[in-house]
């Protein structure tokens, strides 16, 4: 019988200074989520360390690991012990010289249910991800788990309506977004707030347009630029869960780590899609131009 609801936790973290310390922090949060009855735990993007993409440094490829590997083994053991689903993040070394930012989904029995390789990879000051990550090649395919079919996206994917739509068309029952986004700490406070609200608003729009609940888990806190060329990044946290009409169910602030727990009603997708029949009214016969970069 299809699941009617899902209790999930988002682990909004700041960097603890080492891989070991960060994984200890993850484990403590996952155990706390289990005590609170959560069936799924969503970790932020690149949770094992600082956001190293602020600078281009070939030595940092040494941070990458294989899948399966040490991180998936640890998360798998936790998932099996606590009988919950964990969505984690790995800097994946797929082959010599080939790397991805990859979400890993550990099922409630500890099995690796699937992976998602980040499809949209940004490149801008303080965010040099194209230096490290190859764009994903697995497409937008939801992952089946004990708690349902999960539409997992990553970071920069969160801005693209096509990504969320593709996951919805694949039968995702909820959209999950591990994230690591922030702003220049020297930007005016009002500009920083505009960016935070843009980030929240566009993702609430994905939920509305697809009639799905959405959870976005973001890192928080200031991290310096190791190169000293920029003022670093203030990650804005603000992790949140919203329902299929964009209604905010739970939200963390932009200042501190937080274990954010929420319950989502998975049965709402059907009545909401009846009310807002966007899938019915899509003009799939008229969207050919969407396959083009731009109409000149």
288 within domain boundaries: no
Nearest residue to 48 (alpha-carbon basis) of 31, 70, 68, 78: 70
Number of structural domains in the chain? 1
Q: Domain containing 271: what range?
A: 5-281
Coil vs helix vs strand at 72: helix
Question: Is position 292 within any domain?
Answer: no
Give the model's pLDDT for residue 57.
Answer: 96
In a domain, 196, yes or no: yes
Q: pLDDT at position 2, please? A: 75
CA distances from 42 to 7, 54, 111, 175, 178 (A): 11, 24, 16, 11, 7
Q: Are 130 and 121 in contact (CB under 8 A)?
A: yes
Q: What is the pLDDT of residue 115?
A: 98
CA distances from residue 195 to 21, 129, 190, 204 in whole angstroms, order as listed: 30, 20, 9, 14
Which sign, positive or negative, has the C-alpha torsion 226, 230, 232, 237?
negative
Q: What's the distance, CA 38 to chain centroid?
A: 18
**Structural domain includes residue 206:** yes
Residue 290 forms part of a structural domain:
no
Give the per-residue pLDDT at 3. 83
Please report, for the domain that includes residue 276, its CATH number: 3.60.110.10
What CA–CA distance (Å, rounded) separates 140 from 7?
A: 24
Residue 287 lies inside a defined structural domain of this protein:
no
- DSSP-derived letter for residue 60 is G
Q: pTM score > 0.95 for this model?
A: yes
pLDDT at residue number 7: 98
Asked whether residue 233 is domain-assigned, the answer is: yes
Q: Helices 70-82 and 19-35: crossing angle, nearest 10°?
A: 20
Q: What is the C-alpha to C-alpha distance for residues 262 and 8, in angstroms, rounded to an integer? A: 6
pLDDT mean values, one per 10 residues, the chain (296 residues):
90 96 98 98 98 97 98 98 98 98 98 98 95 98 98 98 98 98 95 97 98 98 93 97 98 96 98 98 95 90
- Give the pLDDT score at 296: 85
In a domain, 241, yes or no: yes
Contacts of 194 (CB under 8 A, 6+ apart): none
**What single string gives the DSSP state of each residue in 217-260?**
EE-EEEE--TTSSS--EEEE---EEE-TTS-EEEE--SSS-EEE
């Amino acid at each position: 019988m299809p699941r009617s609801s899902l209790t999930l936790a988002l682990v909004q973290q700041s960097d603890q200074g080492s891989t070991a310390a960060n994984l200890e922090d993850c484990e403590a949060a996952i155990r706390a989520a289990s005590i609170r009855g959560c069936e799924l735990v969503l970790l932020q993007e690149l949770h094992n360390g600082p956001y190293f993409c602020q600078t281009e440094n070939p030595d940092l490829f040494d941070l990458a690991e294989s899948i399966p590997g040490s991180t998936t083994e640890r998360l798998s053991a936790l998932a099996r012990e606590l009988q919950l689903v964990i969505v984690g993040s790995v800097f994946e070394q797929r082959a010599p010289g080939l790397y991805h930012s990859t979400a890993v989904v550990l099922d409630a029995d500890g099995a690796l249910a699937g992976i998602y390789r980040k499809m949209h990879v940004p490149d801008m000051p303080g965010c040099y991800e194209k230096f490290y990550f190859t764009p994903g090649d697995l497409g937008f395919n939801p992952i089946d788990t004990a708690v349902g079919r999960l539409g997992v996206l990553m970071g920069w994917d969160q801005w693209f309506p096509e990504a969320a739509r593709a996951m919805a068309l694949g039968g995702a029952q909820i959209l999950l977004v591990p994230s690591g986004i922030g702003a220049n700490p020297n930007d005016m406070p009002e500009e920083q707030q505009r960016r935070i609200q843009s980030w929240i608003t566009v993702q609430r729009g994905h939920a509305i347009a697809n009639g799905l609940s959405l959870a976005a888990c973001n890192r928080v806190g200031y991290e310096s630029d190791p190169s000293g060329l920029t003022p670093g990044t203030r990650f804005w946290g603000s992790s949140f869960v919203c329902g299929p009409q964009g209604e905010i169910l739970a939200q963390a602030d932009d200042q501190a780590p937080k274990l954010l727990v929420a319950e989502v009603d998975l049965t709402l997708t059907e009545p909401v899609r009846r009310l807002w029949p966007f899938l019915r009214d899509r003009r799939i016969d008229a969207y050919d131009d969407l396959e083009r970069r731009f109409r000149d």
